[in-house]
Structure 1
Amino acid sequence: MGNLTHVYTLQNISYALQSSKKQQFSSDFYTLFIVMSGSGKLEIDHNTIHLSEEKCILVPPNNTISIHIQNKHLCFYQLQFNIVHLSNKQTTYSHFTHIKEQRLLPFSQYRRLLEAIYQNRLAVDEHTIFEQHVHFQELILLLLHQPIPKLVQKNDRQSVEQSINYLHKHFEKEWTVEQLAELADVPRWNYTRIFKNITGQIPLHYLNNIRIEKAKQLLMTTNDRVFEISQSVGFNNEYYFNRRFKEHVGISPGQYRRNQSSHLRVFAPFLEDFFVALGITPIAQFSHSKWGKQDYLGLQEVPDIDVQNREMDRLLHYKPTLIMLDSGVDRWESFHHLNEVAPVCHLSHPGENWQSTLFKIADLTGKTSLMQDVILQYEDKVQQAREILSKSVYGQSVAFLRISAIGITLYAGPECGYTGPILYRDLGLMPHPLVWSIPHNQRKAPLTFDQLLQLDADHLFITFDKQHSIYENEERAILKTSTWKNLAAVKTNCVYEVDFLTWMNYGILSHSKKIDDVLNVLG
């Protein structure tokens, strides 16, 4: 830690409402002029500085100053201060060695500090005097942190980038888009356009996200009240903070804190994979009367709730502290009444982008650092699998079929579906030409009889839709047909049956198990 070498000591503060045309004086101290309203000019040694609202001028000691007004009045604060050196190293901060003018943004922060300093100017008790001293140090710190003028920058994009960096350091201040654009010295319309191009968001949404992320840190690491945290990150209204926090995170600040600090009892039908990957065992798991449950997760001791037979009322017995639902769960049952059991978080689960779902759940449960390890382990596994497969089956075509009593479904390529992103993107296997015939952004397509005849893939992965059901014999009847027996992969014994719920899933453990299955037969 560095040693403090100097402090700034306020000598005097005055508030001037000047109506005379000219005023002249000099000072032995450093002087700050901060204009509140009106306009005029300041002359120092034949140099002229124009005065306008929200502008600050710093004048070093021993300069003769003349102030001229240009309209009916000029209102400004005048502060005189000194620099007291605390060590033998007599250095003066370069910020104060020359006459300097700058626009103060956001001005509301300066106004608040100036009013507090001025209000305590006549204080005699030690506590209030010290409070004034602290406020003055804050004021100086704000001045030192003002961004450099645009004239030393190269272009508008760099100016906006600099303002974004400044925003990350000063997110708690009151900001408007106009102030940010002025800070960057870029027209407002162009500022918003460039800002969104850089960040993907409009400025105030981006600012709110910064504040929410900081609030999450404070909720995890402090015992401050929610109101105090909302104030410290820049939300003056606790209700607005709560609303924004829930929109961004999915649960209230209080629930977020409880999730981080206590044993989490979660029910998350169809999302259990992510929780188990993060070391969290749900208090109940989903099951389906015809599909069974996700046996690959190893949750044999965890009670199951059949979503198809509407057993959700049993959930109350397990006393969850958090219920997490993805957007597709309503096809089984309406979950509106579950708010009476525990806080419900509705999670947008994009499927193929499983990383974003894992991040969201890790963030809600305080498992972000573990999440990074989980993803790295998966990526290492993918790389090792690719190296093995490149020596054995690269160049040979692969397809995945889902078979049910009503027909055969072919799953899509590397961008869509439960299987394509793993088989073709992660593992680098070659899709059969029929796979490419599936329309873009469509996850699967029914396979007609004529198309099945064209399916001469070297390797076929298959799964049956309703295992352990009265339909099982009907589904497997396809395997006895001459059409099926004449498929190239069948003739070469290159058809591999895999577990239904393992492969019809987007979780990271599901994907890892798919890689194991592929290596087991193709590695």
Structure 2
Amino acid sequence: MTLQVFPLISNGDHTRDLYARFKTSEVLDQASFLPPFVLTDSHLLLICTGGEANIRIGHRQNHATLGKMYLILPGTAIEYTPDEIHTLQGLAIYFDLLKPISDINKATSGSTVMEVYQKGLLRSAYADELPHELFQECTRIASQLHECISVPQENRPFRIQTLMHELLAQVYAPPKESTLGDSEHISALDQTLELIELGYAEHLSREVLAGVAGMSVWHYSRVFKNRTGISPMEYVNSIRMDRAKEMLLVPGQTIKHIASQVGFQDEFYFSRKFKKYVGVSPSTYQRQKRSKIAALSFGTTGHLLALQIIPHAALIDNLRDQHRNLFFSNIPYHLGRSKRMNPRIWQTNVELLMQASPDLILCNEYEAHTLKRTLQRIAPTIVIPWKGLSWREHFVQVASIVGQQQDAQQWLEQYDDKVTHAKEQLTHLIGKDTVSIIHIMMGHLLIYGRRNGGAVLYNDLGVSPSHDLLPGQVYRALDEQELPQMVGDRMLLIVDQDSESQQRWHKLQHTQLWQDLMPVQNQQVYLLDEMPWLDYSPYAHDQIIDETIKLFGSTQHINP
């Protein structure tokens, strides 16, 4: 049996016995390649081949442009602010460095040797930004590496390893001893805590954990209890039960399957352990109604409201989210929401969540990428992918989690009836006119596709878009010169209230290009609030239908 667990290490022996485990590579060609804020869980080599963006790596602010390269270590906080006009382009290479435990005999279970690996850090003399003279060669190797995973080859695994190590040979330089302070060293006990959180489904005994820590079983158990207040195996089982609670809330999973996923081969023994830890049996826990749900993604609140569930905690911007203002006073905990979700906002939100003590947290992949481990310590956390699912699929999944599938189905049937009647009215109001959704955000011009308001306007109501974006593309940045080809017959216009957007709007209105646009000439420009049009949830989409009929049935427009 091979157990690969990767607790973070940092010691004076920086590169001996380390080998690279390539994870993935991504071509940077969209403004959203990174969430606005993220804590990396792997090494990231970022190679910029065009465009620009502001990237804060740890405490260092960087302006990423052509020729820049950054080596980012695991656990580093990254704040990413894209330039919507000149989108950052390049390659992102994600990898781990692994190091086997020096004394393999310390990690055994019976007669079976368990080969345990520790995650290593590439401690190079280069701090974040790599020298420009390495750019050409690193770009060549990284491009070959990305191509290698895209085209199947017989020797692909070996080729990937060869290229990965060749790339690291370029970016590594022996570190100066002064860069390795005591604060960067992680204790042996912390390594085992990390091991437990990552490898809870494996066979983890006191002997294995003590071997990883390099201590005797008795000494390790004593140190562990002094630190955590409980024994190592109590801690292991607490992590297993917390993960089981999350799995039990996802429909369609049997108790036997969940037991095996959290390290129990006997479902009856698992059930006894679960009841002792949680207070009720797994089947009873599945049936319990969740009354204190925290919605950590903005759209999830709209799904809950459509099901007539008031979240216990939710992201709220009192100025921007007026389409939900009827419920503000009923939501006990208001979490911060901003177009730039910086670490300070997230830290405050985490503190509020701890005070709220929810019995369930719902989030999407972006919050999970940044905060999942922290959230799991507060309450069972379920991740609902935002990008991979449509709003209808989101809605059905949320309804399944809270046990209101029938309510969701009934809501969707009523919504579809409303869509049918609205489509008939729109045929009389706008005929076959094409319609665009234009947004001025943080000073940039954007056009939206078939997501957000476009999901209702184009997909449900059947309005013809002035320009179809690529599948899955939420929006794309525009140059002003593109507007005549993009805006169509009618334009829905959203202008944010920040100073950059207001200045851009003021200048744009006074250009001849704007005055000559067909919707401006025909007085078919409709100035809208951001919400509900940029929400992606059933509660907002129901409102968008009403607003669409109201807009096109009136004479509301902007004087050119």
Which is greater in Rg? Answer: 1
Q: TM-score, normalised by structure 2?
A: 0.45
